Amino acid sequence: MTEPLRLGIAGLGTVGAGVVKIVQRQKQLLSARAGRPIEISAVSARSRDKDRGVSLDRYGWEDDPVALAKRADVDVFVELVGGDDGPAKAAVEAAIATGKHVVTANKAMLAHHGQPLAEAAENAGVSLRYEAAVAGGIPVIKALTEGLAGNGISRVMGVMNGTCNYILTRMDDAGLTYEEAFAEADGLGYLEADPELDVGGIDAAHKLSILAAIAFGTRVDFDAVALEGIGAITIEDIRRAGDMGYKIKLLGVAQMTGRGLEQRMSPCLVPDTSPLGQLVGGTNMVVLEGDAVGQVVLRGAGAGEGPTASAVLADVMDIARGVRLPTFGQPAATLAAPKPASAQSPGAYYLRLLLTDKPGALAKVATVLGEAGISIDRMRQYDHPGDLAPVLIVTHKTARPNLDRALGDLPGTGVVTEAPVALRIEEV
């Protein structure tokens, strides 16, 4: 009989418990598809007595994930502890050092330490797999490393944080303020213990930096991601963008340009008729553009017990079948040192201004934009009570330094009464 593949699972939160449930529930299916039994030898978590909705009686127990990683009866160490350093990283390093394959959902660890961990795994002849680390149940890592391996990738973009998409969707469809939608998401348990990881764009930026490394053959460079969260988005922006045919999304974009590798995670406007514009709730979407295949759109649940556990098992199954791939799609030693883009690629922008309603106000704004080399595509002024007039402007494509110059000069016109809002419009 073929020897079983034995798992050691560290971390028994939502995802870890979900993995245990699938292994127990789908025992025959997994064995048939993998060509060998999939079994759990031992587990590790902070509390042994917590009720996780699944029986752990038949498994060995380790209080220390590093001890679990070193056990002789573990072939694959499944790291679901989380955190970019500390016990998670120490346990993964111990597993690799003792010849264990590793499956992880830890995007923070890979974003900060992906290169040395990949080199260590490849030198040890073991796999380091992480489908669950990016976009939950969407098989985007497999898509890049396998399905699109024959393509030169020109751009990767997407909505990679379901919590942010939920908040922006609720602001749009229910007319909630940012603070109200944030509180609702918090009450539903959608936010991380540190909410800034979600609404500050950090979680999504971790994922983007990993995808960029695979797509463009570079080392992971999280520190080079231009990062802006959704905390400054107002219901006014949601409504005004909608009036002009756009939705606001926290959008990650990575592309290789003549200026270097551009990586940015920021609120952007996308056409409301586009797949990204129609994405609602906590769903994720990743768009991949290849020279041979064109545009591929992947949509699905970006978090949660079932989708994330499903992604963990996908990696386990590959290991059981004997599939061995370099961590980032090509040998880690061949990954290029990334050259961060010296400037963002040109783009169109949405500007929201509040002007003093007096003759010549719009002319002064147009003059400042023109002197900065920015031309106006569309402009809309709304009916208003009192002497302050809300004005929306959509620009033609311009370089970001030109926009920054204009934003700096607008207060000097004497007609702009509050800081302008500027959001990039992304072509999708």
Which residues are catalytic, by number? 207
Short-list 338, 318, 372, 115, CA closest to 225: 338
- At 347, list the tokens: 């783009």
- At 118, list the tokens: 């990949």
> Which residue has tokens 């045919």?
245
Short-list 211, 84, 219, CA closest to 135: 211
* Bridge partner residues of 6 (DSSP): 39
Short-list 196, 137, 194, 198, CA closest to 15: 137
Short-list 402, 215, 217, 303, CA closest to 18: 303
CA distance readout (Å), 187 to 87, 114, 230, 236, 286: 29, 33, 18, 24, 27
Please provide the size of the chain in residues. 428
Q: Is 21 exposed, middle or buried (0-12, 13-18, 19+ CB in 10 A)?
A: middle
